[in-house]
Structure formats: C-alpha cells, structure tokens
Structure 1
Amino acid sequence: MPKHEFFVDMSREGCSNAVSCVLNKLGGVQFEIDLPNEKVNIDSEHSVDTLLNTLKKTGKDASYHGDK
C-alpha cells in the first residue's frame, strides 16, 4: 500500500482523537499520528484526495506533504 504524509493542525490529544475517528470510519487505512510534529502518515489504497477530504472533516487545516 502507498504511504502518504499529511500535515494536520493538531494541538492536543483531542485533535488526534478526531483524526483517528474519521480515518477509522473511512476504513481500509493504517495510520500513525505524530502529534508533536502535527503529521499523519497513512497507508491506504484510497486516493490522496479522499484521504485529504477525510482529514478535513475534523475541522482542522490539513495538507498533503507527499509520499513517505
């Protein structure tokens, strides 16, 4: 599976919990959250657009950093 790196504006654990929640609902993803560096690394067959739109459902700013 391709691995993608995203920036998500996360300042505390509640933010990372929101990210976990939306990604778990999407399904078919494995992810790691790096809260101090505000990064989310995602392994998924979903498109980058789908992943980015899913992350934006948290209400936080999110952007794609590229393949990991």
Structure 2
Amino acid sequence: MASKTHEFQVEMTCEGCSGAVNRVLKKLDGVDDIQIDMEAQKVYVASTLSADVLLETIKKTGKATSYIGEKQ
C-alpha cells in the first residue's frame, strides 16, 4: 500500500513540543516521513497508517490536535 501524506493541526509552542510529536510518531511502524512546521503549527506525516491511528498517536503528547486532511 502506498503511503499518503496526512496534515494535522497541532498546538506546539516550543522545540520540546515538536520533539515530543516527532518521538511518538517515529515509534510507529509505517511512518515514512514527518515534517513539522512550527510557525503554522502543522505536522505532515507520510504513512501507510490510517489518519485515525496517527491522530490518536499525536494526541498522546497532550497537545491539542486536529486532522486537517490528506495532502495532495
């Protein structure tokens, strides 16, 4: 199955926040790439996993998170 890039809005205020998001996502099998835009508070995840799995994983950091959609 080809990976898709999912876009999430994540409340991040510092490098520690983005680091936490990066760490939890890297623990998942099926995540190919993670891009974090601190200014826009967006996280882009290229993965074969469902958006729901990724969303729940990011929420484990305690950050306010919402799924925006699939990036074309």
Task: Sort the TM-score into its range (normalised by shorter chain).
Answer: over 0.9
Residues of 2 paired with 1:24 and 1:66: CA distance? 20
Alignment match, 2:25: 23
Q: Percent identity?
A: 53
Query: Could you list the runs of 5+ residues in structure 1 that have no partner in the other structure?
Result: none
Q: Which has the higher helix share?
A: 1
**Larger Rg: 1 or 2?**
2
Alignment match, 1:42: 45
Query: Which runs of structure 1 show a deviation greater than 2 angstroms over 4 or more consecutive aligned residues?
Result: none
SS of corresponding position for 1:26 = coil
Give the TM-score taking structure 2 as reference length: 0.90
- Amino acid in structure 1 at the alignment position of 2:28: L
Give the TM-score taking structure 1 as reference length: 0.95
| Match for residue 57 of structure 1 among 57, 60, 67 | 60
SS of corresponding position for 1:58 = coil
Query: Could you list the runs of 5+ residues in structure 2 that have no partner in the other structure?
Result: none
Aligned-pair Cα RMSD in Å:
0.7
- Amino acid in structure 1 at the alignment position of 2:40: N
Shift of 1:50: 0.2
Shift of 1:28: 2.1
Of 22-31 and 38-47, deviating more is 22-31
